[in-house]
Amino acid sequence: MIITLTTDFGFSDHFVGVMKGVILSIAPAAQIVDLCHGVPAHDILAGALSLEAGYGYFPHGTIHVAVVDPGVGSARAAIAVRTEHYHFVAPDNGLLDLVLQSETPQKIVQLTNPQYQLASVSSTFHGRDIFSPAAAHIAAGVPIEQMGEPIDELTQLKTPAPKIAGDAMEIHVLMADRFGNLITDLTRAAFERWNPAGRCVRFQWGGTEINGISRTYADVSCGAPLAYFGSSGRLEIAINKCRAADQINAPAGSAILVRIL
Amino acid sequence: MIITLTTDFGFSDHFVGVMKGVILSIAPAAQIVDLCHGVPAHDILAGALSLEAGYGYFPHGTIHVAVVDPGVGSARAAIAVRTEHYHFVAPDNGLLDLVLQSETPQKIVQLTNPQYQLASVSSTFHGRDIFSPAAAHIAAGVPIEQMGEPIDELTQLKTPAPKIAGDAMEIHVLMADRFGNLITDLTRAAFERWNPAGRCVRFQWGGTEINGISRTYADVSCGAPLAYFGSSGRLEIAINKCRAADQINAPAGSAILVRIL
Amino acid sequence: MIITLTTDFGFSDHFVGVMKGVILSIAPAAQIVDLCHGVPAHDILAGALSLEAGYGYFPHGTIHVAVVDPGVGSARAAIAVRTEHYHFVAPDNGLLDLVLQSETPQKIVQLTNPQYQLASVSSTFHGRDIFSPAAAHIAAGVPIEQMGEPIDELTQLKTPAPKIAGDAMEIHVLMADRFGNLITDLTRAAFERWNPAGRCVRFQWGGTEINGISRTYADVSCGAPLAYFGSSGRLEIAINKCRAADQINAPAGSAILVRIL
């Protein structure tokens, strides 16, 4: 059984390693895969985007654990969710929001049963004490129904969303990836609903303009900006062979105007 | 059989990957887990703290390899240690010191038998040439007694320690973790011996004061400093939702005054 | 079957995790090992050096996947190579050049057969859509002959090379590793061909001189520079217990003069 881990723990400390020790102590046959540990500290939206981009490439049956948890130790719930093909284990703070727009929950429980937690639960490291044990017990065959009471409503994530005004749309930068490419809140599906005829568009912010949507970096000359639908299905802004995030002043939340020509 | 790796090699080079290749060549069934590779370069104390925080969460029988080894190629010994529940493989430079305060060695040997090293041993990468092969051979069932001569005395790690003067105590910052939380040399056990009645305490350094010990970050308001016992049992100083290490000028070795009120 | 991954994807995003999901969906029994993901973005030479330093420490039969791919989505080919002991899967951009100086290709094919790619191939993430599936299918027993047409000529990597002029030689810095050690284009083999009698040499650049070749860091005093043959067989310049790359102004491409005394 595969268990993936997505956290903001980075690799500079022992946190991720300890989660693996806990999992393997409970479920020795689990196959643990790091989905992403470079989520910026406390950035729930970035964590949600990583999960969204990655979870579906894993075999059915995979258990996805996500821990970006600035409210650890407070009243926020710890949850496990079963969908048709996967399990998800996370704090209830919006981290699963994007994923659960594609995957319909069959069951959601609050992880309150101490039988499926470490004997001593800290107030600062539920990744070790609650989330890892829960995932390991799921891998070992325990139904989530045994792990706590069912709940129906989850905390929503506050995310920017494109604003449409006729032939114009305001979209927003969500984050920059490792290559400095800027990822936006415009999905290919939303774009095609807005522009079903596939008419040419222009992107504009500050003094910069991009005309049209490229297929890949090499479609423009070295150092030129481009807009394209990235590998996770969202519109991205990049500069061929450079880091757009360093050259374009567009931090998370920045608006970009899109106009049908 | 699980083999964990703790090093200061980071992930920017091939060093860790090569260790895994060596291990899997000797012990194909070994299950390798990264405990931590983000130990600051040459920082033996930080490596010792990572090991201390993590080793005990792994199943009995696990082999823990640690390589923070500024003296590689010099006269410092390479050692393997067997305790009741684990094996440890490391340079003899203090890296195992904190762990061996909790785990009593049953046997310590110096890794001198070339039969359990790579055919060609470099002077700069014993993680590959000596420590990985030793761990893999242990995983494959070789008793450490065959790997070299027994030794009794290990190199001690020079670590700061709390200084008690009646109702006051001077404690020290050991390192900052990924979230900028400052980890100190005060363990919960030492604190409770000093303050068995659990009377209220004040922490003080520079112009900053913290009154009392919190349970978790969310116990104080956003941006406020707090002191709490972290997930590895040591007192930590943090700022809720910020990086204490960036806002408080308290590098490793800095003193903090604790006073019973 | 072991599959190693060497990329410039880093660990801050989901890219590496997603590759593993794709591989495990096709070849559930594959054992995936990260060889190196810290190759600087788009730095094909650094990727080639990581592969060269690491591939040979893995068991025969290992499949090495390398993705440093600034030309993704352009006309550059995707290839699989079978040698006596290994398979290699990579873009045809020079990334395999150093490895294939030691390993003779028995077969090279262009990865064009859509049967061994994901159903939908993006223009920006062939690591996920083409290279990972190819490696997984090789692990599952598919001969590379079925994956596309054979080709003979591969793209060459433009690398600096030592220039010999009698008793003097100009060598070049290729990159700095995690410890700030500078790795050069001078291999031990080339050095011994040039200086078969092992006469003493002097290294010189800017105002700095190093006399002789050391065995390990501790051979010189703390803070002193040294030249030595590193663990991957190349001459390196380091400063004992410091980061040479920070103290010596010698970016990639910098020349160092070597002279037989």
SS (H, E, C) C154-216: CCCCCCCCCEEECCEEEEEEEEECCCCCEEEEEEHHHHHHHCCCCCCEEEEECCEEEECCECC
Q: Which whole number is the average pLDDT over A47-54?
A: 96
Q: Which residues of chain A are within 8 Å of residue C123 when distances are taken between CB atoms?
A: 215-216, 228
Which pLDDT tens digit goes with each residue over C115-128? Answer: 999 999 999 999 99
Mark yes or no for CB contact C71/A218 under 8 Å. Answer: yes
Q: Which whole number is the average pLDDT over A46-60?
A: 97
Question: Please, what is the average pLDDT of chain A?
Answer: 95
CA distance C37 to chain B (A): 7
The per-residue pLDDT for B258 is: 97
For helices B132-139 and B15-26, the axis angle rounded to 10 degrees is: 30
Test mutation, C12, C23, C44, C132, chain A, max A CBs within 10 A: C12
Test mutation, C7, C60, C217, chain B, max B CBs within 10 A: C217
Give the residue on B whose Cα is nearest the Cα of C59: B25
Give CA C94 to chain center in angstroms.
10
Option in B53, B215, B219 nearest A18 (CB):
B53
Mark yes or no for CB contact B21/C178 under 8 Å. Answer: no
Strand runs (DSSP E) across A20-106, as ranges?
A: 31-36, 63-67, 78-82, 87-91
Give the residue on B whose Cα is nearest the Cα of C236: B124
Percent of chain B with pLDDT over 90: 87
Residues of chain A contacting C, Cβ within 8 Å: 2, 4, 6, 11, 31, 33-38, 50-51, 53-54, 57-59, 62, 177-179, 215-219, 228, 230-232, 241, 243
In the predicted model, is pLDDT for residue B250 greater than 90?
no
The per-residue pLDDT for C11 is: 87
Mark yes or no for CB contact B228/A124 under 8 Å. Answer: yes
Size of interface B-C (CB pairs under 8 A): 91
Instruction: List all chains that touch chain C, counting a touch as 3 or more CB pairs closer than 8 Å.
Output: A, B
Which pLDDT tens digit goes with each residue over A59-81? Answer: 999 999 999 999 998 889 999 99
Strand bridging mode A234-239 / A225-229: antiparallel
A45-49, B174-178, C58-62: range with lowest mean pLDDT: B174-178
Read off the tokens for C230: 């590193």
**End-to-end Cα, chain C, rounded Å:** 50
In the predicted model, is pLDDT for residue B90 greater than 90?
yes
The per-residue pLDDT for C249 is: 84
The per-residue pLDDT for A159 is: 87
In the predicted model, is pLDDT for residue C74 greater than 90?
no
ipTM of the complex: 0.93
Q: How many CA atoms lie within 13 A of B23 on its CB side?
A: 27
Distances (CA, A) of C224 to A72, C214, C241: 47, 12, 9
Test mutation, A8, A117, A124, A130, chain B, max B CBs within 10 A: A124
Size of interface A-C (CB pairs under 8 A): 91
Coil/strand/helix, residue C240: coil
The per-residue pLDDT for B124 is: 92
Q: Which residues of chain B are within 8 Å of residue A124 when distances are taken between CB atoms?
A: 216-217, 228, 230-231
Q: Which residues of chain B are within 8 Å of residue A42 when distances are taken between CB atoms?
A: 241
Mark yes or no for CB contact A178/C122 under 8 Å. Answer: no
Q: Are B236 and B227 in contact (CB under 8 A)?
A: yes
d(CA C189, CA C186): 8
Q: Which whole number is the average pLDDT over A169-196?
A: 95
CA distance B211 to chain C (A): 37
Q: Let me know if A142 is exposed, middle or buried by CB neighbors in 10 A (0-12, 13-18, 19+).
A: middle
The per-residue pLDDT for B25 is: 98
Which pLDDT tens digit goes with each residue over A147-176? Answer: 999 999 999 998 899 999 999 999 999 999
Which pLDDT tens digit goes with each residue over B223-249? Answer: 999 999 999 899 999 999 889 988 888
Which residue's entry shows tokens 């260790």? Answer: B19
Read off the tokens for C180: 């700030």
Share in percent of chain B as helix, strand, coil (round to 5): 25, 30, 45
CA distance C15 to chain A (A): 8
Question: Please, what is the average pLDDT of chain C?
Answer: 95
